[in-house]
């Protein structure tokens, strides 16, 4: 059986990940102990029409029924060869925001304290994280974008996730960016009347910026650098890299280059996600 075990931090998007797999034809199951999944697989093999692919969320909630989740995870991987453990996580600040929006206490936090719960959960899942096969940082993803990552993961040979992002300096730089390229070396279309209302996805704006000779060499250099460094990131156990392009307002030059780089990288075997962070401010 093709089995996807989804685990990770509360509030990081495990349920959204499960639903994405369900939409792709996986039999989905939430909050089930690992040892029961093992029994389920044994029973499934005796059926006339067995289920061939399943996705299941197994996290700290199973602890009351399974006191040694780590050993249960290992046993499940050993007995079902096509098993992938997917560890879903995101920045603490994002989890805090999500819990505050829902007005819910963290189940592991003392008196429901979210920050306390996050730290306890990280410690609790530390050993499971070590044996996980894929890591997905959902800090910058909407539910739709996370679903695309899951869909692409089934098609791409390489599990590396490359986030291509545009942003405006006036709205701040995020600590999640691995590499930042400043596009302010190009003239600002903001000061050209017919280009000001456009954004970097517009063909007319693209044609204008394409005319600058430096842009082709710059795009080639960035592309080569990304492909050169990705194997090194993987050697360090990192499977996500965020490449950010910035300009003053995050509407013209940065968007243009993010679109251009995404178009070039999406033909590689990486899982490539494009995001214009400040789109709502255009």
Contact status, residue 62 vs residue 5, Cβ threshold 8 Å: no
Write out the two tokens for 116: 């306390």
Residue with tokens 């199951």: 29
pLDDT for 64? 67
Alpha helix locations (H) across the chain? 14-23, 34-44, 69-79, 92-102, 114-124, 126-130, 143-153, 203-210, 214-235, 253-265
pLDDT of 154 reads 83
Contact between residue 9 and residue 121 where contact means Cβ atoms under 8 Å apart: yes
Beta-carbon contacts of residue 29 (< 8 Å; ≥ 6 apart): 37, 54, 55, 56, 57
In eight-state DSSP terms, residue 66 is -
For residue range 11-50, what is the model confidence (pLDDT) as tens digits? 999 999 999 999 999 999 998 888 889 899 999 999 999 9
C-alpha distances (whole Å) from 114 to each of 89, 103, 139, 140 are: 15, 10, 17, 20
Phi, psi dihedral angles at 247 (to 5 degrees) = -140, -175
pLDDT at res. 205:
98
SS3 214: helix
Rg (the chain; Cα; Å): 22
Place of tokens 């539910």: 143
Among the listed residues 118, 128, 150, the one whose alpha carbon sits nearest the alpha carbon of residue 9: 118
Torsion of CA 240, 59, 94, 263, to 10 degrees: 30
Decide if 66 contacts 128 (C-beta within 8 A). no
Which residues in the chain show pLDDT less than 50?
none
Q: Which two structure tokens, joined as six digits, stand for 84? A: 């992938």
Q: What is the pLDDT of residue 50?
A: 93
- Which pLDDT tens digit goes with each residue over 154-170? 888 778 999 999 999 99
Q: What is the pLDDT of residue 34?
A: 86
């Amino acid at each position: 059986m093709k089995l996807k075990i989804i685990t990770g931090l509360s509030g990081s998007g495990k349920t959204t990940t499960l639903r994405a797999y369900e939409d792709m034809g996986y039999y989905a199951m939430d909050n089930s102990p690992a040892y029961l999944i093992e029994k389920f697989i044994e029973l499934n093999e005796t059926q006339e029409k067995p289920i061939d692919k399943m996705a299941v969320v197994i996290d700290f909630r199973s602890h009351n029924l399974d006191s040694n989740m780590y050993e249960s995870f290992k046993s499940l991987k050993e007995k079902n060869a096509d098993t992938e453990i997917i560890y879903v996580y995101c920045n603490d600040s994002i989890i805090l925001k999500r819990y505050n929006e829902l007005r819910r206490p963290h189940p592991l936090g003392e008196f429901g304290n979210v920050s306390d719960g996050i730290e306890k959960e990280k410690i609790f899942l530390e050993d499971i994280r070590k044996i996980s096969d894929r890591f997905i940082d959902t800090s910058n993803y909407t539910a739709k974008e996370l679903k695309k990552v899951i869909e692409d993961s089934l098609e791409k040979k390489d599990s590396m996730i490359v986030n291509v992002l545009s942003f405006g300096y006036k709205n701040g730089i995020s600590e999640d960016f691995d590499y930042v390229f400043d596009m302010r070396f190009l003239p600002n279309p903001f000061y050209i009347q017919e280009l000001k209302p456009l954004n970097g996805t517009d063909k007319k704006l693209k044609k204008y910026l394409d005319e600058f000779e430096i842009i082709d060499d710059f795009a080639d250099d960035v592309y080569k650098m990304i492909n050169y460094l990705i194997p090194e990131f993987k050697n360090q156990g990192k499977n996500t890299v965020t490449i950010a392009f910035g300009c003053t307002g995050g509407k013209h030059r940065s968007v243009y280059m993010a679109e251009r780089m995404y178009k070039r990288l999406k033909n590689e075997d990486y899982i490539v996600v494009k995001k214009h962070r400040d789109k709502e401010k255009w």
